[in-house]
Structure 1
């Protein structure tokens, strides 16, 4: 037993020496030097395979170090002291090491900027566009279980963001003076998206089973469209020539001939200067070829066609095996006839980024619902094959996110638009999040932009492979800012690292952040049709994870 203890002691001493040799001094402006050193110790530990040593430590009744990453050197020195007593060795030299109690206190204090001093966990709720107008939603914010609200600058406008902030301020003054809500604002970042798609008119049927009436309206200021919204009566609006609309005042019936020349007659119910309500009869299709007739003086017909149709994007439906072109040159995406590929999809992406993409790279569209593989690289374009879509196909829509998990794109996390938006939000933001943080340069840029507003906390969102790889440097950059945290954006991250690797990567992020005593925020997820689709759909609810490991 004593011989085994000596062997363990020697190995543990070697590990301690290696940790000390690899330590680098904390940055000059570092506010948490002990946390910085502990993070370095943890990174040194992760470089070696210590499984045999861990087993030997457990055989001696000691900690295996697997959960000691928050106070690593302290634990090693404590175990050396215990083994030294057993072996009658002199006490080894002690070095700067943070104790478990101080480590827990450190991370609790660093998380207080969002959760307060008393709470162990925090819940953050994303504000919808109509938050300031929705009375029921405002009542939810009165509850103390919600500790922060999130404004996403990828949506809405500075005016709406300010209205949201004003609403939160009023709630804090009236209902939450003791525990005010914090305002977290996400910068939109450089998310690459699908571009605009060519528009077309879309025919629709009226007088279907659940439609009782439809409306004719003057063309000026109106559009032809189907009313099929949740909570509304199913109906339709048909815009017609203004002059003909006036003659409807004296008509009793209207005749509609569709493109197949099927004739239907419908009774006019009421007429006003703004709209004419017509009772439904047999169903009929309304398109730009449809004819509408009204009889005047029992002999003369006035004929028109529906106009001002609501324009909708052309449907680009893809199936497994289809080829499509992702283009930085084409303004409008569209279906292509008589070509070796099905469609062109325009990208909102800087053209220089095409140089970072190569054949066999994976491409994911719309949170991973559609998977592509690059089969040919062209000038500012990529020819891709569809590798995953539903059996019934998937429609590529406008403004959907695109991920390139196999590519390290040289792109700054803070865009020019973000810099402009900062001017509107610094007056009310308590916390600002950097979307798609990839390097420490992204953190340094925001710190520079906030140099006159250093009371605002910074949160870096980790959602790419590059962000995971550079996390130690990102944490180092955060160590010079008084309030900071890391957010794990699991939706995009799962696409980047692969869903099968998400749990392991997420665990590594948590462990490294705990070693640096940095709080972690992460978004909850709904795993929809997980086994079939292997993709993530995010609830707009965020939570904060602390040292205790409790997640609420």
Structure 2
């Protein structure tokens, strides 16, 4: 058709077709040319991952361009806007090109007409195949698997493991940062028994702890226990304080003040008795015995009191004294360092107990607060001006000075205006290039156990391809080629190098990626987390690599029994991944059942980025009830 013979409107359409064709051709050529750039990487990937590696490179080439204007043009023409091309990049580009050539009445070039291995059918099929290989087959009622983190207590609670498997847990996650091999072995034993009883398969994944940057100890506080009853606005006691007196060999209760006392004294106590004593403020106080168990007494008190080791207790029955004893050894109170915006903080190498700042009579700092960090790489890698964050970002600072064994930090942000920095809290250095291997000596030791019992191993704080090299070398030593590898993306560096990490891991399939949104959110900034997790989902779909949606999914429900509205929406977003991970909590079974229901419902409406146009009851006049 000649342009001069067309109407003005038709001529405009032909021009649009031509411009769109040129734009799509540019992307198509760039994608094919990128294969030469990554030729060395292709030679190393496993044969089963070759097509997926090529598709990933095609996607990277396309995403080096701003395609938004072209997408608008294609959408106006009623064509695919390329917005769902991840799993089949060349097939998507060639499909649009073939239509544009046809509309322009031009012959379709042979290389555009050629069908490459990754098609609209084979791309999603490869992703599904790779997901099945490392995450197991998806349940019949939903596509997304559910991974559940095991608390240490389940080592002695086979009924809970059985209930989790029955409710739909597809992968049992064990965190090597907690507990020990004997505890892990009991967990595995209970799981295998549950599988046999229920006739269900549940995989096992172990997370290596990795080199977690944490704050060191803090100077111990006083050795004291105190309690306080609840009072109303008039000062009247509404609920007495509860206190446990226990024999020396009984474990403390973290929720109730616990005082060790000689067993001979406790054995004489009965409900209705009382223990009298004088506390550290020389005030007479009474503990009323309300319940007696072997080796302990549960008491109530209606006044605030403080006791220390050696405090003398007198057991009284009615008006008579029937025995005395002393308070035994107590744990020190947990301490913290209070920090505000503008405060200086020194981070020192080693494990010296940290402490707060000291001040002169005028309130000026004599010695700044300091905290230790055991990893030497922090001090060799940090640079002046680098940001530093503590405790999941509750404290933010900037490094103002660097020495061989210390960093001088200025606090620039504190949650609530004043934040308490405790020991064993995470440290993040998002802009610092730390020469820190992802595998520690502990990880290498744990890997021997993992290789024997696990289906997959998750690598924490992976940042560079050489980290994966280290893991593969250790796996080779253990002849553990059966182990799948999960890359935990939890640092800014790991995210920026994700394509290289994927190509490196493709040497040892099956592989998966976990979006570890806790540390990742701190590292990239919470305002960017939604954007970053989207990009990870796109890149992994292009690589046909399954994704695990992790960190604080339905956390309020798991820990407190009731989800927040935002958490439910977040859980539904997890349906775009191949697996959703739940953390431990007292309501974990209820959380698993709740999540399963949410995923089943949302998967009728979405698959990855595509909306599924299921018949909607709300579109019908006088629809049935919502739960129908």
Alpha carbons 2:267, 2:295 under 8 Å: kept: no
Aligned to 2:109: 92
- 1:37-436 to structure 2, matched below 5 A, reads 37-94=54-111, 96=116, 98-113=118-133, 114-116=135-137, 120-134=143-157, 136-143=159-166, 145-175=168-198, 177=199, 179-205=200-226, 208=229, 210=239, 229=255, 236-239=258-261, 256-263=277-284, 284-287=305-308, 306-338=327-359, 339-348=365-374, 350-391=375-416, 393-436=418-461
Q: Distance in 2 between matches of 1:91 and 1:446?
A: 48
Q: Distance in 1 between matches of 2:482 and 2:442?
A: 22
Moved more, 55-64 or 199-208: 199-208
Aligned to 2:43: 27
* Residues 88 and 72 (structure 1), Cα distance of their counterparts in 2 relative to 1, 3 Å cut: same
Q: Distance in 2 between matches of 1:217 and 1:36?
A: 62
Write out per-residue CA displacement over residues 335-357 of structure 1, whole angstroms, 9 at most, x where no aligned residue: 34234455221113x21331221
Matching of residue 3 in structure 1 with residue 15 in structure 2: yes
Q: Distance in 1 between matches of 2:289 and 2:89?
A: 82
Q: Distance in 2 between matches of 1:274 and 1:140?
A: 33
* Residues 383 and 135 (structure 1), Cα distance of their counterparts in 2 relative to 1, 3 Å cut: same
Name the SS of the counterpart of 2:452 in structure 1: coil
Contiguous gaps of at least 5 residues in structure 2 = 1-12, 230-236, 317-322, 360-364, 557-562, 565-569, 571-580, 585-591, 612-628
After TM superposition, give the deviation of residue 375 of structure 1 in Å: 2.5
Aligned to 2:482: 455
Alpha carbons 2:213, 2:373 under 8 Å: kept: yes
Moved more, 89-98 or 281-290: 281-290
After TM superposition, give the deviation of residue 149 of structure 1 in Å: 1.0
* Residues 88 and 328 (structure 1), Cα distance of their counterparts in 2 relative to 1, 3 Å cut: same
Write out per-residue CA displacement over residues 179-201 of structure 1, whole angstroms, 9 at most, x where no aligned residue: 30000111111111111222233
Write out per-residue CA displacement over residues 86-121 of structure 1, whole angstroms, 9 at most, x where no aligned residue: 333332132645111110111111111213065521
* Residues 401 and 509 (structure 1), Cα distance of their counterparts in 2 relative to 1, 3 Å cut: same
Name the SS of the counterpart of 1:27 in structure 2: helix
Q: Distance in 1 between matches of 2:190 and 2:268?
A: 49
Q: Distance in 1 between matches of 2:431 and 2:529?
A: 15
Matching of residue 12 in structure 1 with residue 24 in structure 2: yes
Q: Would you say how many aligned residue pairs link Structure 1 and Structure 2? A: 529
After TM superposition, give the deviation of residue 391 of structure 1 in Å: 3.8
Q: Distance in 2 between matches of 1:123 and 1:462?
A: 19
Alpha carbons 1:148, 1:181 under 8 Å: kept: yes
Q: CA RMSD in A?
A: 4.0
Q: Distance in 1 between matches of 2:228 and 2:381?
A: 53
What's the TM-score, normalizing by structure 1?
0.83
Moved more, 271-280 or 366-375: 271-280
After TM superposition, give the deviation of residue 410 of structure 1 in Å: 1.7
